[in-house]
Amino acid sequence: MSFGIHFAPPQASSVAGKVDTLFYAVLGFSAGLTLLLTGLIVFYAVKYRAGTSADRTGARGRSLPLEIGWTGASVAVAFIIFAWGAELFVYRDQPPTDALEIAGLGKQWMWTFRHAGGQREINELHVPAGKPVIVSLASQDVIHSFYVPAFRLKQDAVPGRTTHLWFIADKPGRYHLFCAEYCGTQHSEMGGWVTVMPPEEYTKWLAAQGQDESLAEGGARLFRALGCSGCHGPSSKVRAPDLTGIYGKPVALSNSQTVMADETYLRDSILQPAKQIAAGYDPIMPSFDGLINESELQMLVAYLKSLSASSPLRGEASQ
Ligand code: CUA
């Protein structure tokens, strides 16, 4: 039926089929409605064209049940589509806790990735099939958008914050990766390939890349090199909060509010320390804005997460 033309990319993630079902349902409904309305317009235009003997005596009254009926039906259809889409949206926003985490960084004009073991890739991303993978995204300059059509997933990488996208790639193969946000002259060339491998092959591939410093280990090194450990370390004389296990815990602030120590909080605390002061501490921490780049920030955040028992990175850091 497709005459050899590919109308849609292959479905290669756990969410792709769900997205397509919703898309084709909305498309089919719209097409049906368009055909019905167009048919009625043409039918009545022909029937009541000038000069026909069609009966024109009918009353032009209003029917309350009819008006309530079509208004109610339209609202119901709109809400069904909304609920369907919202359910899918929430699903694609809730990664499983055991997901493999890969740090992605967009910059003009390439994608770079770092696996938990420190292995780096440029414009290539290797992932295991059948396992949940989280790609945490940051941008070094402008807004980019990580887009893999075969996964039916797209997520912006926004300067100044970390965004996430997760997927279970269910079919081994090579799939196009694009930047889907105009980001300058070479935007159209910013892309590459996602290679989905059977888990055993992925493990072999990872091992063949050689052991590099892991993300969390790099963060630990920076934590000492930048002097963070001087204040936040256990033997420090300066009063600064101990960061062990802070990730994922609520933090009491000096303005009596409480925030969750998520990635955004850690990132903000490094770049804009005056924004949220932990209760009981003086606002003496200097900002590291401009002193460290996005990739170093990702390492520091990975290190801080590794200090927390609830983090999947813990095993990596203790090696
Ligand atoms: Cu990066 Cu477009």
CA of 186 to the centre of ligand 1 (A): 8
Q: Is the C-beta atom of 190 inside 6 A of ligand 1? A: yes
pLDDT 10s digits, 271-312:
888 888 888 788 878 888 878 888 888 888 888 888 875 444
> Tokens 């914050």 sit at which residue?
161
Residue 207 near residue 126 (C-beta atoms within 8 A): no
For residue 13 the two structure tokens come to: 């993630």
pLDDT over 70 for what percent of the chain?
93
Q: Which of 47-61, 157-171, 177-191, 223-237 has the lowest mean pLDDT?
A: 223-237
pLDDT at 318 over 70: no
pLDDT over 90 for what percent of the chain?
41
- Residues 6 or more apart whose Cβ sits within 8 Å of residue 281: 239, 240, 241, 254
* Band of residue 225 on the pLDDT scale cut at 50, 70, 90: confident
* pLDDT score, position 312: 45
As a whole number, mean pLDDT of residues 34-41 equals 96
Task: Report the alpha-carbon distance of residue 153 to residue 132 in Å, rounded.
Answer: 14
CA of 135 to the centre of ligand 1 (A): 17
CA-proximal residue: ligand 1, atom 1 (nearest): 144
For residue 126 the two structure tokens come to: 């290797």
* pLDDT score, position 120: 84
CA of 38 to the centre of ligand 1 (A): 41
Task: Report the alpha-carbon distance of residue 306 to residue 298 in Å, rounded.
Answer: 12
pLDDT 10s digits, 67-120:
999 999 999 999 999 999 999 999 988 888 888 889 899 998 899 998 888 788
Q: Is the C-beta atom of 219 inside 6 A of ligand 1? A: no
Q: Which of 55-69, 132-146, 156-170, 300-314 has the lowest mean pLDDT?
A: 300-314
Task: Report the alpha-carbon distance of residue 25 to residue 7 in Å, rounded.
Answer: 16
Work out which ligand 1 atom sits closest to the CA atom of 143: 1
Task: Report the alpha-carbon distance of residue 306 to residue 244 in Å, rounded.
Answer: 9
pLDDT at 148 over 80: yes
Task: Report the alpha-carbon distance of residue 226 to residue 15 in Å, rounded.
Answer: 41
Task: Report the alpha-carbon distance of residue 276 to residue 29 in Å, rounded.
Answer: 49
